[in-house]
């Protein structure tokens, strides 16, 4: 589960983000059958994409992303959800073909593939003995 980029874009503050996230995480935690079988995914570092400037200063966007990710990680770990940080993965191949979509904002297929690989690696590692 990856939640938060739209909250950032729409200017929601950290407290409102936490409140929404807690509601969603609690609903999921209440219905999961086996503890530890939910993967919470960080907001990728989108402050470096060309279109990020349309949403504000990239340094400010990066700081907000880090703040939101700290909240998401804290709330995920409180519910024993697996935390997968995509920060490094999201910028690993900046500038390479297919990394960013044609709109210069969203990830391209190559980046989504890298995310899937990172998530799968964590799932195999953390859930192989469960």
Q: Tell me: the pLDDT tens digits for 41-78? A: 999 999 999 999 999 999 999 999 999 999 999 999 99
Task: Output 61 or 129, whichever has higher pLDDT.
Answer: 61
What percent of the chain clears pLDDT 70, i.e. is strictly above it? 95
Q: How much is the average pLDDT of 76-98?
A: 93
Q: Which domain CATH number covers 50?
A: 3.40.50.1110
Residue 33 pLDDT greater than 60, yes or no: no
Q: How far, CA to CA in Å, does 27 sit from each of 15, 24, 124?
A: 18, 5, 25
Domain, as residue range, for 52: 5-127
- Other Cβ atoms less than 10 A from the Cβ of 100: the count is 22
pLDDT above 70 (res 35): no
Distance, C-alpha 117 to centroid of its chain: 14
What's the whole-model pTM score?
Answer: 0.90
Predicted local distance difference test score (pLDDT) of residue 1: 87
Tally the domains of the chain: 1
Contact criterion met (CB below 8 Å) for 36 and 81: yes
81-101 average pLDDT score: 93
Give pLDDT tens digits for 11-30. Answer: 899 999 999 999 999 999 88
Per-residue pLDDT at 8? 87
Quickly state the pLDDT bin for 111 (edges 50, 70, 90). very high
Q: How far apart are CA 48 and CA 64, in angstroms?
A: 13
Q: Is pLDDT of 88 > 60?
A: yes
Total Cβ atoms within 10 A of residue 53? 12
- Tell me the C-alpha distance between 29 and 79, whole Å: 7
């Amino acid at each position: 589960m990856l939640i938060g980029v739209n909250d950032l874009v729409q200017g929601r503050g950290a407290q409102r983000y936490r409140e929404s996230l807690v509601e969603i995480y609690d609903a999921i935690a209440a219905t999961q059958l086996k503890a530890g079988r939910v993967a919470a995914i960080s907001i990728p570092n989108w402050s470096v994409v060309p279109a990020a400037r349309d949403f504000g200063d990239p340094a400010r966007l990066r700081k907000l992303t880090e703040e939101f990710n700290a909240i998401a990680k804290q709330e995920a770990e409180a519910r024993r959800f697996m935390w997968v940080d995509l920060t490094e993965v999201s910028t690993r191949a900046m500038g390479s073909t297919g990394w960013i979509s044609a709109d210069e904002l969203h990830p391209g297929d190559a980046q989504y593939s890298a995310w899937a690989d990172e998530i799968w690696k964590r799932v195999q590692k953390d859930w192989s003995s469960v």
